[in-house]
A and B are shown apart, each in its own frame.
Chain A
Amino acid sequence: MRKGLLDFCILRALEGGEHYGYALVKMLVAVPGVGVSEGSIYPLLSRLKRQGLVSTRLEESTEGPARKYYRLTASGRSVVAEMNRYFQSMTEGVGGLGRGDFT
């Protein structure tokens, strides 16, 4: 999967709200066609955090280690909005192929 697309998937997943890292990873690998391992997503999350697109917070748990939650930053929301527009136009463009309308 193109690396940029996976970034988009992560940002899209967080668009709806904050997610616990483990759950976020499970959600992403369940998407058909993602084709990456669970362990590979964490490095991407780290990179997105370094880029300032996501932020994290730790929540202590009585049942185990502290849980890390991810959410979008303002910068991240901006980027994902732009990615959404780009993906939308690309989807429409791809869908129009084969109808023979070349104008």
Chain B
Amino acid sequence: MKRWTKQAEERLEEYLAGRVRREGLDGDDARELREDLRAHVQEEAEHRERELIDGAELDAVLAGLDDGSKAEIAGPRPIKRFRRGLAWTFGVVFPAAVVVFEALSGFCGGVFFDPLPTVWHGLLALLVPAGNAWLLSYGRRADSRLQGWTSGIGLVVSAFYVLLFLPLLPASVLAVLFMGMGLLSLTPIFAWIATWRISRHNRGEVARPWSFRQGRKWGMLAALGAILILEGPGIWTRVLLDRAVADPSGSGTAMAMLRAVHSERALLKACYEGNRGTAMATDIAGWLGKGWGITAGLFGARSFETQDSEAVREVFFRVTGKPFNSLKPPRGSAGGIFGGSRRAVLDDWEFDDHLGGDDVAVRLRGLDLAESRFDGHVDGTSAIGYGEWTMVFDNHTSQPKEARCQVRLPRDGRVSRLTLWVNGEPREAAFNSVAKVKAAYREVAVQQRRDPVLVTMAGPDTVMVQCFPVPAHGEMKIRFGVTAPCEDGAWELPRIVERNFGIGSGLEHALWMQADRSFTMPGLPESRADGKGYSSQSGLPIQTVLGGPVVVELEELGDTPGPVWCRDRFTTGDGKILCRTAKPGRKAPVDRVVVVIDGSETMAEAGKWIRSVFSNKTPDVLIATDGVTEFDAGYRYSGGRDNEAALRKAIGLARDAENGAVVWLHGPQPVRLTEAEALRQMLERGTRQPEIHEFEVVPGPNRLADELGRGGLLQRGPRLLEPARDLKAFLDALTEGRPSMDWSWERQTSTDGIEGREVWDQLARHWAMEHAESGADDAPKIAAAYQLVTPVSGAVVLETMEQFERHGLKPVEGDASSIPAIPEPSTSLLLLIGMMTALLRRRR
């Protein structure tokens, strides 16, 4: 006799019970039928090939027993009308309505968590009412296994949402009892109960209950798999995020595991939560951890702990290597998957905790740069360029917002003009000490919510531009001017390295450049003669000023500028004629060069050309990997790395030599991973203070560079237009001695006997920029007088004279002579005529 598995025996009993029930037999008749069918099945099983009769074998036997009998088997019993109504209401109608409502309105997503963050979540949730509807209607006569599948999927999906909404159960019950609302959050629980009842009923009615059970098991597994695919990475990320935040060293197991596998969506969402976050609601993965805190709070217990947003953002950088605010903010608030008008309203409610602060911080929704225009003039004679960047911000939301960005200036460049349009009228800025202008901005902008704009230094050759309020459903227009000397016959355009606003759709950067000689610039048409100079104009993609350096290269410019002079209208002393003479020199060669390469993921692309410059045998090349590693051509750039340890080691090595230098190649590091004080101490103390030449290989904010740059401890390396070639040339120049250019300044009371050519008054600003950096006692006063934003001075535009006076500030007068401007080509002609006349007079 064949052997039977326990499972097969149980299935046979189920089948027999079902047959008897369908035949409507009881008592002796039922017993006799069971015995007859059992005997038949056992006889049939004896004819099978296999020795062991398991579920599959039994299925085959029973299939033969029922084959051709579908018409004979009585249909499923009708369900009582009341129960059918309840099943349809709570198993189909309610869940379907709630899914559609949430998809359109994002109501729950705006308050607690987003249960439908993607279309796939929505489809998965809709499988519950759709499956139940099918099981209650046509599906009742369908194949048993298929019914089981449908039932299994519905059970798991509805159970998942029960788990999510369970923390809200107490509050929902209370809300229903006392306020008559709260049914939305109870619907998943009702849906699960209904799905379970429908499943149980259908299991009892199907021709093959064992097939139903098998199908249900597979359906449950399939649904569980789908949920794991959708939410597994997010849950994994959230769990590890908690551990990573708790480990300040950033080098623990949690961080390594996150770098290997993480959900960037979940990480980014977490960046906008916490104590300095802006989002009201979390995502599913976050809610699983925090949801129970609500229930605990309801009963007076300690609620869940709010994470430190800064720590989370640090982890984001360490894991992805990207600044969190370089990505579009997550759709975590009221983002319904099919969109909805309610979303726009709830999206407005973003609390900007960084208002008036020193960080660019979170990217704000609904705030965009709507227009961008740059007008620039480069004077080859004085080797100075001046340009004005006009920006218009557009706020689509119903809350006023602050627009903030960090702008990288040309090397040694400084902001020398600031204008704000108030009611259509341009207002010029007041320049004064950093403390004064910041205090004025905070009081007027943040507290009174009036119209100022503030520009201060944020790092080496970097300024922070802040303007608030950009009015709700309105615009704000500002302009700032930049004065900078040329470098090797080229002038670099200012660019944005960090911003809290988006970019308007299709925005172009309207660029006008002119010079006293022909010039070239990538993306610009060839410069054409325009009056006595040359000009070119084009609308460039806005990405031009969001990425790496873009330079204007002048042609026919000699290596050494000749002597020049100008009339300094800013000085209050007698020496109003300011003369400048170039003093070319040569820097002493460096004895030892130590290179530090940022090991972050953003450097991966640059790694290709870096490998062509260094090999595994090149000495003194370190990779910053949170710790320090010797250079390895096969190194895999990953995450966001702290460069502090590697820099510390490099400085130590460089100090071993009499005259050492460090070359630092880095990408963005938008968070302060470690304090820079130890580094600063190494660089400030002792007799040997190596130079640090930093290269921003990948553009973006770098807090470590900002900290070091504030103390004047960093020097910006030359531009890497062809990176491998230019870096090699620089390294060779370091060890062989490289040319340098210093300026000699002299003041005279008249132009008698003066040498050189008269140039524009930007020359005076050039002098003031050098003086302000010299550390002289009168540096702040000079910087303010010459209208410059420097490490010791800033610029602010306020709305009324009373506000200026209250803070001891004086705006630049509307007098055209003191405000820098882009000279017209005809003005250049006048200057030329003037200079020629002066020359002729001298000859006589």
Interface of A is mostly: helix
Could you tell me if A36 and B65 are in contact, using CB atoms closer than 8 angstroms? Answer: no
Is the Cβ of B36 less than 8 Å from the Cβ of A38? Answer: no
For the complex, is A46 an interface residue (Cβ under 8 Å from B)?
yes
CA of A37 to CA of B67, assembled, Å: 6
B423 located at the interface, meaning its Cβ lies under 8 Å from any Cβ of chain A in the complex: no
Contacts of B38 in A (CB 8 A): 65
Interchain CA distance A22-B65 in the complex, whole Å: 11
CB pair B40–A39 under 8 Å, yes or no, is yes
A42 touches B (CB below 8 Å): yes
Other contacts beyond A22-B39, A43-B25, A64-B43: 17, CB < 8 A: A21-B39, A22-B44, A35-B68, A36-B69, A37-B65, A37-B69, A38-B64, A39-B19, A39-B40, A40-B69, A40-B72, A42-B33, A43-B23, A50-B29, A64-B1, A65-B38, A68-B36
Supply 8 A–B pairs (Cβ within 8 Å), ascending by A.
Answer: A22-B40, A42-B40, A43-B23, A46-B33, A63-B1, A64-B42, A64-B46, A65-B42
Q: Is the CB of B43 within 8 A of A36?
A: no
CA distance A63 to B65 in the complex (A): 22
Considering the complex, which residues of chain B in the window 61-77 have a beta carbon less than 8 Å from any beta carbon of chain A? 64-69, 72
Answer yes or no: B32 CB below 8 A from chain A CBs: yes
Taking a contact as CB atoms under 8 Å apart, the answer to whether A42 and B72 are in contact is no
In the complex the two chains form, what is the Cα distance from A35 to B309 in whole Å? 73
Q: Does B37 contact A (CB under 8 A)?
A: yes
Question: Restricting to B583-620, which residues have a CB under 8 Å from any CB of A?
Answer: none
- Among B37, B42, B44, B68, which residue has its beta carbon within 8 angstroms of that of A42? B37
How far in angstroms is the closest Cβ of chain A from B493?
Answer: 85
Instruction: Please pick, from A22, A46, A65, A66, the residue contacting B29 in the complex, using a CB distance under 8 A.
Output: A46
Distance (Å) between the CB of B739 and the closest chain A CB? 101
Shortest Cβ distance from B71 into A: residue:
A35
Which residues of the partner chain B approach A46 to less than 8 Å between Cβ atoms?
Answer: 29, 32-33, 36
- A37 engages B72 (CB within 8 Å): yes
Closest to A66 in B: B39
Is residue A45 within 8 Å, beta carbon to beta carbon, of the partner chain?
A: yes
Select B43's contact among A22, A37, A40, A43, beta carbons within 8 Å.
Answer: A22
B784 to chain A, nearest CB (A): 101
Chain A contacts of B37 at CB under 8 A?
A: 39, 42
Q: Is A67 close to B, CB under 8 A?
A: yes
Partner of B39, one of A35, A50, A65: A65
| B40 contacts A25, C-beta separation under 8 Å | yes
Contacts of A43 in B (CB 8 A): 23, 25, 33
The B interface is mostly helix, strand or loop, or mixed, namely helix
Contact A45 B43 (CB under 8 A): no
Partner of B65, one of A21, A38, A66, A67: A38
Report how far A43 CA is from B16 CA in the complex, Å: 12
Give min CB distance, A64 to chain B, whole Å: 6
| B452-492 interface (Cβ within 8 A of A) | none
For residue B41, which residue of chain A has the nearest CB? Answer: A39
Smallest Cβ distance from B714 to chain A, in angstroms? 88
The 3 closest A-B CB pairs, nearest first, are A37-B69, A42-B36, A39-B65
Are A38 and B42 in contact (CB-based, < 8 A)? Answer: no
Chain B residues lying within 8 Å of A25, measured Cβ to Cβ, are: 40
Chain A residues with Cβ under 8 A from B32's Cβ? 46
A21 to B38, CA, bound (A): 12
Within 8 Å by CB of A38, from B29, B33, B40, lies: B40
In the complex, chain A residues whose CB is within 8 Å of the CB of B29: 46, 50
- Smallest beta-carbon distance A41→chain B, Å: 9
* Range class of the B interface residue count: 20 to 34
Contact A67 B39 (CB under 8 A): yes
Residues of chain B contacted by A42 (CB below 8 angstroms)? 33, 36-37, 40
Query: Which residues does A use to contact B, with CB under 8 Å?
Result: 21-22, 25, 35-40, 42-43, 45-46, 50, 63-68
| B69–chain A nearest beta-carbon distance, Å | 3
Question: Nearest CB to that of A39 among chain B residues?
Answer: B65
**Interchain CA distance A66-B36 in the complex, whole Å:** 10
- CA gap between A42 and B43 in the complex, in Å: 14
Neighbour of A21 across the interface among B36, B46, B72, CB < 8 A: B36
Alpha-carbon separation in the docked complex, A35 to B69 (Å): 8
Most chain A CB neighbours (cut-off 10 Å) among B44, B64, B68:
B68
Smallest distance from the beta carbon of A51 to chain B beta carbons, Å?
A: 13
Q: Mark contacts of B1-30 with chain A using CB atoms, 8 A cut-off: 1 yes-contact digit, 0 otherwise.
A: 100000000000000000100010100010
Residues of B within 8 A of A50 (CB): 29
Contacts of A38 in B (CB 8 A): 40, 64-65, 67
Q: Smallest Cβ distance from B3 to chain A, in angstroms?
A: 13
Q: Which residue of B lies closest to A35 (CB)?
A: B68
Neighbouring B residues of A21 by C-beta, 8 Å = 36, 39-40
Q: Which residue of B lies closest to A25 (CB)?
A: B40
Q: Known: A42-B33, A46-B32, A64-B1. Is A36-B72 also a contact (CB below 8 A)?
A: yes
Docked pose: A25 CA to B29 CA in angstroms: 19
Query: In the bound complex, what is the Cα–Cα distance between A45 and B25 (angstroms)?
Result: 14
Residues of A within 8 A of B25 (CB): 43
Contact with A along B345-373 (1 / 0, CB 8 A): 00000000000000000000000000000
Question: Smallest distance from the beta carbon of B34 to chain A beta carbons, Å?
Answer: 10
Interchain CB contact under 8 A, B69 and A45: no
Closest approach, in angstroms, between the C-beta of A15 and any C-beta of chain B?
Answer: 21
A20 to chain B: closest CB distance in Å?
9
Chain A residues whose C-beta falls within 8 Å of the C-beta of B42 in the assembled complex: 64-65
**How distant is the Cα of A42 from the Cα of B69 in the complex, in angstroms?**
13
Question: In the complex, A21→B29 CA distance in Å?
Answer: 16
Q: Given the complex, which residues of A lie within 8 Å of B68, measured CB to CB?
A: 35-37
Shortest distance in angstroms between A25's beta carbon and chain B's nearest beta carbon?
7
Chain B residues closer than 8 Å to A64, beta-carbon distance: 1, 42-43, 46
User: In the complex, what residues of B have CB within 8 A of residue A37's CB?
Assistant: 65-69, 72
The residue in chain B whose Cβ has the minimal distance to the Cβ of A38 is B65
**Cα–Cα distance between A42 and B34 once the two chains are bound (Å):** 9
Q: Cα distance A42–B66 when bound, in Å?
A: 12
Residues of B within 8 A of A36 (CB): 68-69, 72
Give the residues in chain B near A68, CB-CB below 8 Å: 35-36, 39
Annotate B689-701 by CB proximity to A: 1 below 8 A, 0 otherwise. Answer: 0000000000000
Contacts of A45 in B (CB 8 A): 36
Q: Is the CB of B66 within 8 A of A39?
A: yes
* Cα A25 to Cα B43 with chains together (Å): 12
Q: How far is the CB of A35 from chain B (nearest CB, A)?
A: 6
Cα A65 to Cα B69 in complex, Å, equals 26
Query: With the chains together, A72 CA to B663 CA distance in Å?
Result: 108
Which chain B positions have C-beta within 8 A of A39? 19, 37, 40, 65-66, 69
Chain B residue with minimal CB distance to A43? B23
- The closest CB in chain B to the CB of A65 belongs to B39
CA distance A68 to B64 in the complex (A): 21
Q: How far, in whole Å, are A64 and B65 apart by their CA atoms in the complex?
A: 19
Interface centre among B1, B39, B66, B69 (most CB of A within 10 A): B39
Complex CA gap A89/B502 in Å reads 95
| Residues in chain B near residue A65, CB distance under 8 A | 38-39, 42
How far is B42's CA from A67's CA once the two chains are assembled, in angstroms? 11
Q: How far is the CA of A63 from the CA of B19 in the complex (A)?
A: 26
A residues in contact with B65, CB < 8 Å: 37-39
The interface residues of chain B lying within 8 Å CB-to-CB of A40 are 69, 72
A25 to B41, CA, bound (A): 12
Nearest chain B CB to A14's CB is how many angstroms away?
A: 15
A79 to B310 alpha-carbon distance, docked (Å)? 95
Closest A residue to B47 by beta carbon equals A22
A22 and chain B: residue at smallest CB distance: B43
CB distance from B206 to the nearest CB of A (A): 15
| Nearest CB of A to B410, in Å | 90
Question: In the complex, A42→B29 CA distance in Å?
Answer: 11
Residue of A nearest to B45 (CB): A64
A27 CB → nearest B CB, Å: 13
Interface string of B770-804 (1 = CB under 8 A from A): 00000000000000000000000000000000000
Distance between Cα atoms of A29 and B711 in the complex (Å): 99
Q: How far is the CA of A35 from the CA of B40 in the complex (A)?
A: 19
B67 proximity list for chain A (CB < 8 A): 37-38
Which residue of chain B lies nearest to A40 when distances are taken between CB atoms in the complex? B72
Whole-angstrom CA separation of A59 from B550 in the bound complex: 102
